[in-house]
Amino acid sequence: MSEVDKVFELISKEGVEVVDLRFMDFPGLWQHLSVPVRELTKESFDQGFGIDGSSIRGWQAINESDMLVKPVAETAFIDPFLQAKTLVLICNICDPITGEDYTRDPRNIARKAANYVKQIGVSDTAYFGPEAEFFIFDDIRFDQNAHEGYYHIDSKEGQWNSGRVEEPNLGYKPRYKEGYFPVPPMDSLQDIRSEMMLILESIGVEVEAQHHEVATGGQAEIDIRFAPLVQCADNLLKYKYVVKNTARKHNKTVTFMPKPLFNDNGSGMHVHMSLWKNGKNLFAGDGYAGLSETALYAIGGILKHAGSLLAFTNPTTNSYKRLVPGFEAPVNLAYSRRNRSAAVRIPMYSPSPKAKRLEFRCPDPSSNPYLAFSAILMAAIDGIMNKMDPGEPLDKDIYDLPPEELAKVPQTPGSLREALERLKEDHDYLLRGDVFTSDVIETWIDYKMTHEVQELDLRPHPWEFALYYDI
């Protein structure tokens, strides 16, 4: 039975009434439109559905607005939240005149990256496994206008509420930086995370573990099982959707913003990666930490291009509030086994060659997963193709290094502006195989600079009043 036939069998079995067509905008948010189930035919998978591309962030000009969304049959799942029985189909974006895949469609970029490594013969499968962290809050208020700018976060778990009158306040609020792994009642969000985990499993996203994270105020992590690049990015979008909507059902709110709380740990998204060919893990070998020469070259590529990579893996101004020393964030571009303060870590949980992989610890969950995973893969491939030596590993505690030794360790960019400047200078490796196009790179830099970096630069910060009001 074909994948398309399976979709119509699922529609019949589940009594589907609505088909929801989902796709990714350029910066990284899921978009959708819905049609009655009768509008979906077998021809729909080739002909697609029309949308206005000029209304999607970072896409077409208004005089070239018509685009097609083409559903991908193998992505089908039943939405676990909507009242009407709804079938979800993730879509690719195409030009209605030429029929070609749209170059600014993030999913298209990921598909091209996955195909590129096959075409050049390096690997037939690139596996990715993200560990996305997030916060579950009870209330969030924020505004910025001509005469005021503020945000107010609240969480029943927040250490800042240890003295609040709650009638009764039962205590058990995780201390700052002490939220990692306490059992209930200190961990008050176990049931919600378990519900998130089970819903993910029910729609085909395999989960490896869920737990409370380090920060106070409801920080959490759910680890999904590794998968090939495009499928993994699809799964991460399902993950965000499930996590946000499960929280909303409980009158709570989730954010994947990297650094919502001052002076506590931010939310990262450590990305595990390995390359396979003919059923063999190309990263397993007899070198450092059980790595192959291929794996070490891949690390060399990631470390060399890390400055420009971060424009995609850490793509918000807030991302660089997390990438500061003292909060377990990997600001030093080095590699190591076990050492979690290194940008690239080689996990040592299992001696099995099948488990050998590298973990890039810089990324955060604000990233567009299609673009982030593709950029990481292209950097790794560049390292392999050009046999880039990653240098010596750094197995010491980086944060305890003497200043003269620390000065020799390269640093991550200190701001989104700096990362975008690095991308402007260093992006040839992304253009290989037409995976990222020059238009995509230029549009990304322009969009981020215009809509985020420059907009933030225009606005006074509350702390500036504390510093400068009495000047």
Let me know if 404 is a catalytic residue. Answer: no
* Identified catalytic residue from 52, 64, 74, 166: 52
Dihedral pair phi/psi, residue 335, rounded to 5°? -130, 155
Closest residue by Cα to residue 417 from 320, 332, 301, 303: 320
* Identified catalytic residue from 105, 133, 264, 364: 133
Mapped onto helix, strand or coil, the DSSP state of residue 328 is coil
* Identified catalytic residue from 105, 138, 187, 359: 359
Let me know if 270 is a catalytic residue. Answer: yes
* Identified catalytic residue from 104, 107, 270, 422: 270
Which are the contacts of 151, defined by CB distance < 8 A and separation ≥ 6?
140, 141, 142
Let me know if 328 is a catalytic residue. Answer: no
Let me know if 187 is a catalytic residue. Answer: no
What residues does 5 pair with on adjacent strands? none
Let me know if 340 is a catalytic residue. Answer: yes
Q: Which whole-number Å values give the CA distances from 228 to 87, 121, 203, in the listed order? A: 23, 16, 17
- In whole angstroms, give the CA distance from residue 163 to residue 161: 5
Which are the contacts of 308, defined by CB distance < 8 A and separation ≥ 6?
419, 422, 423, 425, 426, 427, 430
* Identified catalytic residue from 213, 223, 234, 452: 213
Listing DSSP states for 226-284 in one string gives PEEHHHHHHHHHHHHHHHHHHHHHTT-EEE--S--STTS----EEEEEEEEETTEETTB
Tokens of 124: 């037939």
Let me know if 361 is a catalytic residue. Answer: yes
* Strand 332-337, strand 342-346: pairing: parallel
Q: Which whole-number Å values give the CA distances from 108 to 69, 127, 376, in the listed order? A: 12, 17, 16
Tokens of 163: 């003295």
Let me know if 417 is a catalytic residue. Answer: no
User: Could you give the angle at which helices 438-448 and 416-425 cross, rounded to 10 degrees?
Assistant: 160
Q: Is the bond preceding 365 in cis, omega lying within 30 degrees of 0?
A: no
What residues does 24 pair with on adjacent strands? 30
User: Could you give the angle at which helices 293-304 and 306-313 cross, rounded to 10 degrees?
Assistant: 80
- In whole angstroms, give the CA distance from residue 471 to residue 467: 8
* Identified catalytic residue from 193, 361, 417, 422: 361
Let me know if 133 is a catalytic residue. Answer: yes
* CA neighbours closer than 13 Å in the CB half-sphere of residue 11: 21
Distance of CA 79 to the CA centre of its chain: 21
- In whole angstroms, give the CA distance from residue 331 to residue 310: 11
* Identified catalytic residue from 340, 418, 421, 432: 340
* Strand 49-52, strand 66-71: pairing: antiparallel
* Identified catalytic residue from 79, 105, 187, 221: 221
| Residue given tokens 């990304």 in the structure block | 444
| Residues acting as catalytic residues | 52, 131, 133, 213, 221, 270, 340, 359, 361
